[in-house]
Chains A and B, each alone.
Chain A
Amino acid sequence: MEFSPENPRLAEPEIETSHADEFVEQLRCVTDSLPSRINIDAQSVEQGLAKLVLTLIEFIRRLLEKQAVRRMEGGDLSPEQIEELGLALMRLEAKLQELKTQFGLEDEDLNLDLGPIGRLI
């Protein structure tokens, strides 16, 4: 293929920012949550299954939190009910955290790429 003004030769990729540290931190989060489906061994299969199950639980947990907040804002819960609901959700969050630690998973791991729809969480 010939080079011409219509088809100019491009330089190597350039990266430009005045805030490199912030973006490096963000990119690390992304790389930490890359799918592990390519490296298949017994341990990663077990972890992959735990990741899938915990992602779904995390998704439902967040829905429950939103619903609880909505009901709290709606004023249809007594202070005692708010406290009870808050405690239940707090314990659920703590339990999920415990399970994540057990399977060596971070917050960023609990998500699913749904392709064109985007990410689950």
Chain B
Amino acid sequence: MKLYAYCLIEGIDSLPVPLKGVSGANVRLLKVGTFSLLVSDFPGDAVPVNRDNALAHAATVGSFLDQTTPLPFRFGTLVTEKQLESFVTARRDALQAKLDLVRGCVEMSVKIIQTANENGDPPAKAEAPEKPGTAFLAEKRREILNKESRAVEAKKIAGWLEDRLAEVVRETRINANPTEKLLLAAAHLVERSCVEQYRETLKELRLERPELHFLFSGPWAPYSFANIDLEFQFGVS
């Protein structure tokens, strides 16, 4: 029987209420040295990727978010108890450093959409009919130029966002690689006491740039700042 690992937490010594995790299994607290880990038994070798399991994972990881900041494992992490103990023991210092980084903080998320015709670009001009191969390359040229211009715009918006949120954000992970609509996605590590100020600042920014469509969400566990998945894959499995 393997263990499904949800997260590593500190300052929690017992579960105040029973928790149901992935596949409806009871979540339990496993103590390894000074760390506590939320785990549940899992009978198989692979976790089905479905809505219920994803929600159960997120709910379990977030179950103590109002009290302490967890280091989440990636969805679907299955290990034996021995592997988990060995991993935590061997990487105690690195895990402690990650806990130090996120302690007292939560992750907040911002996504910004700017559709192509909202950034002031003129619509494509109707041109004289061309041969198919030439027309194909001309269209590709338009696509490439548009993509480059959106990448420049995304960097500008990212800089603006970073400047304006600097006071309330401890760390930022930004993806300014725009798609057709989504201009950028940012994850911010925010101290709990600054969450309201963070939200208010974003509301002001939204009013300042009405042409940008904002989605902000949180608080979440710091998935973007505490990825222990890679270490786990290479170190244990």
Contact = CB atoms under 8 A, between A and B. Distances in A.
Contacts of A11: 219
Interface string A76-87: 000100111111
Contacts of A68: 137, 140
Interface string A5-44: 1111111011111110011011001000010101110000
Contacts of A9: 66-67
Interface residues of B, number: 45
Contacts of A119: 177
Interface in A46-88: 65-66, 68-69, 72-73, 79, 82-88
A26 B213 contact: no
Interface residues of A, number: 45
Interface of A: 1, 3, 5-11, 13-19, 22-23, 25-26, 29, 34, 36, 38-40, 65-66, 68-69, 72-73, 79, 82-90, 115, 118-119
26 contacts: A1-B12, A8-B193, A9-B66, A9-B67, A10-B219, A13-B62, A13-B217, A16-B199, A16-B217, A17-B214, A23-B111, A23-B113, A23-B213, A26-B182, A38-B47, A65-B144, A69-B137, A69-B141, A73-B141, A83-B132, A85-B137, A86-B133, A88-B133, A89-B133, A89-B140, A90-B133
